[in-house]
Amino acid sequence: MYKVLALDLDGTVLTQEHTIHPAVKQAIHEAAKQCHIMIVTGRHHTAARPYYDELGLTTPIICCNGTYIYDYQNEKVITHNALTKENALTFIELAQQDKLKMVMYITDAMVYSKIDPIDYMSAMEQWANNPAMAHPPKIYRIDSFEEQVQHADYIWKFVVEGEPATLERFLNLPWIKHTFNAEKSWSNRFDFAAKGNNKGTRLAEYLNTLGYDSNQVIAVGDNHNDISMIELAGLGVAMKNADDTVKSHADFVCATDNNGDGLARLIHENILGQSQ
């Protein structure tokens, strides 16, 4: 019997419009009464909070592709493998030399440059400025990444965007390969966190604290950063919208993409025992 349901957010729980399908929301609500629901996301905890609240969850959340576990109930970091300030500063210097655009995820905020802003953050900033949001994400445009590093308690990860050839060269720099775990999050975008961080590793660590085995886990995702937890789980599931590489690592492919009710059906069939 499955005891843990580990869910990615973007492209999995969330539709293309960044909403939650009503059937999926209801299924998660019901499943939370029977098993441990774990959100495992590439997002910063402040950017995942609105959906966490909408789903009515009380469990901790794994953020930034396994970099840390955050407890919303007590507003604290449970465990982490954050970047050192020294490594963060060297990373910034190398990325700027290649004229790559960056977002830096720090303690309780996401920051990006005023001078050369990364494109997708504008849309996120608009979303975060919604006055109806009880816990809006903290997003700031800054003058200096280096200054932010000096004052931050934690540096979680970098998101870097650029031309494919430039990104490929940057990824293959020996120091980058040795120091960082890089995972593709979009066609021209990579996430860089401390070496050893990924969703599967952090989920396995958390399962140990609960006393559960990986065979008791269903993990669902759609992107390359989900592969580690899909492989870990007793039932690893790829969304229909996942690419073939992700699907090749899964035990099962969801009946629909993230805009449909396939995830709800999966939950009913494997946790609630009510086939639809």
Residue 226 a catalytic site member: no
Task: Please report the beta strands in the chain, taking only residues with DSSP state E, as ranges in sequence order.
Answer: 4-7, 36-40, 61-63, 68-71, 76-80, 101-106, 109-113, 139-142, 155-161, 180-186, 189-194, 217-221, 235-238, 252-253
Which residue in the list 8, 222, 226, 261 is annotated as catalytic? 8
Contact call for residues 190 and 157 (beta carbons, < 8 A) = no
Residue ranges of the alpha helices (H) in 129-272? Answer: 145-151, 164-171, 174-179, 199-210, 227-232, 244-248, 262-267
Q: Name every residue whose Cβ is closer than 8 Å to that of residue 33 and which is 6 or more positions away in sequence.
A: none
Q: Name every residue whose Cβ is closer than 8 Å to that of residue 273 and which is 6 or more positions away in sequence.
A: none
Q: How many CB atoms lie within 10 A of CB 126?
A: 10
Contact call for residues 30 and 272 (beta carbons, < 8 A) = yes
Contact call for residues 78 and 46 (beta carbons, < 8 A) = no
Give the dihedral sign, CA 240/68/168/177: negative
Burial class (CB in 10 A: 0-12, 13-18, 19+), 114: exposed
- Residues annotated as part of the active site: 8
